[in-house]
Chains A and B, each alone.
Chain A
């Protein structure tokens, strides 16, 4: 019964928020359900994601937070048995419509993964990969894009003399920022981050978090994180997922200081998860 109430409350909160702050939404998720085969992983998710803000998604392992993130660029379809219902509007189009080209979506929505996954190529070729597959061949243009992207990922100074080195030889933190640069190189609107610092040491984590603050000036960021302090530090809004449901979605400060739902409170105070 409590769940029902909360579900009804959440959208109301969002709409009042929208009016007061006038932040346009980049994504509008309507009644999203998702199944892996016969196992339902997401239940009736309704969630608006604002532009040029950092939206954090927290929740215990297996709550569907990564799955939800991957619905936003349809990477979830890499698993062939996935079925979805409902709609996710990006701009004013439903990305789950048949005619929507998934390659276009993923050009506009970049992604950074849990484990750094640079290609086994040079730093330069890693960053230039995206522009190249979209047809940019001119060396000078590519040079500029690579420099701009690496600067954007705050790693240009460290790597400007090592562009020809294999990205696999870099440290984990550097690899992850090269992956961020690779995502920036096609100038997306949104960057999805799936626990981007979980494989990094504290110093690299601090650098990536700092970078996220920089990036939100130009990009809308959705970040899944295991780490509640991280969500509290870097995000504007936070969504709490539990067992495939969106339990609570609030301004970050409010969610952490004054959660409405008992389960959110239990989770953020460390009573479970």
Chain B
């Protein structure tokens, strides 16, 4: 057995050094024992918060359903809480309409950006573009909202005559733009994780760049890509400020993107910022809508987890 010796004339006696350190380490061991509990505590904070939110939501929701029937709430097509009509479908419809438009914008743009960044861009270009794309994710959504209202809407009005100033289309497009970085960045991560040997295998068969991207890289990264899309959609469902500002406040059961709609989140803003009195039925309705929204986004997140497990192509 050979001992490692230093190149200098003095040799380091590692064994006695370690022996010295060991006595210090023994003191550390007590702390070492406490650390798992400290870490658990921090994890518990977020779990308890979630439980607390869920508890509040449920308690107030029960209060609501003691005055308005469950069936009326989920099947009614008229939402005018100030005159006692509590059919939530127009709000759900508004939310879905915005989400569909946003998805139609975000998926193609996001995927194409991801393919460009991962398969076409040189290392230098990617290092510049990806952070810029991610900056988009850091813009406050209020800014997006006014961007939609004062920039996108006038353009749309020039194209579609008679388009009202508040409309689902403008809000949906801008929500879509807002989630593009999320789709692009997460999909690009998934595509980047595809080993280069697979690309080489395809190039060596005479595949073009596009064929390598579409027939090898995207299928291999599919689970990550779908998870990215679903997560982004879930973000779009929960988006508040853009739709509050740009899509209006007209509960409207329609699939016409040119009309003004109100989403679940926009109603919550409207009711929460108005002079709603504590304990009134409108106050309670906030929670009923809130829990509906919560169920929607939770389902999307579960779906995303399920998909990324189910479609994992192992490589």
Contacts and interface: CB of A to CB of B under 8 A. Distances in A.
Contact of A168 (B200, B201, B203, B314): B314
- Which range contains the number of A residues in contact with the other chain? 20 to 34
A120 interface: yes
Q: Of residues A121, A166, A168, A179, which shows the largest number of chain B Cβ atoms within 10 Å of its Cβ? A: A121
Interface string B184-223: 0000000000010110111111111001000110011000
Contact of A120 (B202, B207, B313): B313
B278 interface: no
A130 B208 CA distance: 11
Q: Of residues B204, B206, B220, which shows the largest number of chain A Cβ atoms within 10 Å of its Cβ? A: B204
Nearest to B207: A133
A117 B197 contact: yes
Interface string A200-239: 0000000000000000000000000000000000000000
Interface string B277-312: 000000000000000000000000000000000000
Contacts of A270: none
A106 B201 CA distance: 11
Interface string A172-186: 000000010011001
B208 to A, nearest CB: 6
A244 interface: no
A177 to B, nearest CB: 14
A130 B215 contact: no
Q: Of residues A110, A115, A133, which shows the largest number of chain B Cβ atoms within 10 Å of its Cβ? A: A133
B315 interface: yes
Interface string A109-129: 011010101111100000001
B49 interface: no
Given A119-B216, A119-B220, A166 B314 contact: yes
Contacts of B215: 129, 132-133
A121 B219 contact: yes
A75 B197 contact: no
B197 A113 contact: yes
Interface in B99-142: 122
A107 interface: yes
Contacts of B220: 119-120
Contacts of B195: 117
Given A103-B208, A120-B314, A75 B203 contact: yes
B133 to A, nearest CB: 22
Contact of B206 (A78, A104, A118, A121): A104
A133 B202 CA distance: 10
A203 B178 CA distance: 56
Contacts of A120: 198, 219-220, 313-315
Given A120-B220, A133-B215, A166-B314, A182 B205 contact: yes
Interface string A85-111: 000000000000000000111110011
B207 A103 contact: yes
Given A80-B122, A120-B315, A110 B204 contact: yes
B204 A111 contact: yes
Contacts, number: 69
A53 interface: no
Contact of A117 (B200, B206, B219, B314): B200
A104 B205 CA distance: 9
A113 B201 contact: yes
Contacts of B198: 117, 119-120
A80 B219 CA distance: 25
Nearest to A115: B197
A83 to B, nearest CB: 16
B315 A110 contact: no
A182 B197 contact: no
Contacts of B219: 120-121
A129 B313 contact: no
B205 A130 contact: yes
A198 to B, nearest CB: 14
A19 interface: no
A117 B198 CA distance: 6
A73 B202 CA distance: 13
A206 to B, nearest CB: 24
Given A119-B216, A119-B220, A107 B202 contact: no
B188 to A, nearest CB: 19
A134 interface: yes
A107 B202 CA distance: 11
A103 B197 CA distance: 18
Contacts of B201: 113, 117-119, 179, 182
A119 B219 CA distance: 10
Contact of A130 (B122, B200, B206): B206
Contacts of B315: 120, 168
A110 B205 contact: yes
Interface string B251-293: 0000000000000000000000000000000000000000000
Given A134-B206, A186-B205, 10 more contacts: A80-B122, A106-B203, A106-B204, A107-B205, A113-B200, A117-B198, A117-B200, A117-B201, A133-B208, A183-B204
